[in-house]
Amino acid sequence: MGDSYYEYLLKQWIQGGKKDARLKDAWKRAMKEMMDTMVVTTSSGLQFVAELEGPRQRNRMDHLACFVAGMLMLGSRTLPRDEVDPRWEPFAAELTHTCYQMYVRMPTGLSPEYVAFNLQAARGQEMSVPGDAPHNLLRPEAAEALWYMWYYTGDPKYRQWGHEMFVPFLRHCKVKYGFSAITDVRKKPPPKRDSQESFWLGETLKYFYLLFSPRSTLNLEEFVLNTEAQPLRIL
């Protein structure tokens, strides 16, 4: 639940003209500890960021954690080359793929709030949806990851994945006056919650818009996006 802190270590360093090494170094330390202790791979090859409760590892990941992929790509492409961990970009790509799978494996094509992983399960059966997690609140983090991956790599598969993820929002969430969160992504049609969080407009739709727009729409040499996807000019 402290995700924005780690994001802002990097982004404050960038927005401030890359002058405050304390921020950059703190972010690098955090990313090293994450890569060393929290990255888990299932027997079939899916990678995700596990949760730690003291010494105990929980093999689950929130949709919220999908932002890590974009953060790692941003760091990899902005830090001095000799300070970049060669693990960052490959893991960012793998994590983005896992987040995409959180959508396409569900009957509705929409991700639940979080998934649990069975590390030894056969391919296609690694993810399960716990009883308190089947809802979708229109969150932005997976779309955010897709945009950063597409922005920095130009690989068209990220736009294709984005299209596959966006269409179910139109199919299952669009209502007369906006878009509604849904209570269970496993049910077709899914029951609606009659609520729309502000981040749907402020972030999720913005990241999809950027993903399907020309790369020049937002220049990350001139702007940094805060955790609510507002563009701030780099000093």
68-119 confidence digits (pLDDT tens): 999 999 999 999 999 999 999 999 999 999 999 999 999 999 999 999 999 9
Catalytic site includes residue 113 = yes
Q: How confident is the model at residue 129 (pLDDT cuts 50, 70, 90)?
A: very high
Question: What mean pLDDT comes out for the span 197-224?
Answer: 98
Please give the share of the chain, as a percent, with pLDDT higher than 90: 98
pLDDT tens sequence across 214-224: 999 999 999 99
Q: Cis omega before residue 189 (within 30°)?
A: yes
Q: How confident is the model at residue 191 (pLDDT cuts 50, 70, 90)?
A: very high
**Catalytic choice (7, 113, 141, 203):** 113
Alpha carbons 195 and 182: distance in angstroms, whole number: 9
Please give the share of the chain, as a percent, with pLDDT higher than 70: 100
Report yes or no: 173 and 138 within 8 Å, Cβ to Cβ: yes
How big is the chain, counted in residues? 235
Given a cut of 70, whether residue 1 has pLDDT beyond it is no
Which stretches within the chain are classed as H helix?
Answer: 3-15, 21-37, 67-78, 88-104, 141-153, 157-172, 198-199, 205-211
Report yes or no: 115 and 128 within 8 Å, Cβ to Cβ: yes
Question: What mean pLDDT comes out for the span 229-233?
Answer: 97
**Six token digits for residue 5:** 């802190």
pLDDT reported for residue 3: 84
pLDDT reported for residue 54: 87
Q: Which residues carry a binding-site annotation for Ca(2+)?
A: 227
- Hey, what domains does the chain have and what are their CATH numbers? 3-233 (1.50.10.10)
Tell me how crowded residue 94 is: count the other CB atoms within 10 A of its CB. Answer: 17
Tell me how crowded residue 101 is: count the other CB atoms within 10 A of its CB. Answer: 18
Determine the residue type at 109: G
Question: What mean pLDDT comes out for the span 199-206?
Answer: 98
Q: Which residues carry a binding-site annotation?
A: 227
Alpha carbons 137 and 77: distance in angstroms, whole number: 31
pLDDT reported for residue 55: 86
Q: How confident is the model at residue 179 (pLDDT cuts 50, 70, 90)?
A: very high
pLDDT reported for residue 226: 96
Alpha carbons 200 and 229: distance in angstroms, whole number: 11
Specify the pTM.
0.97
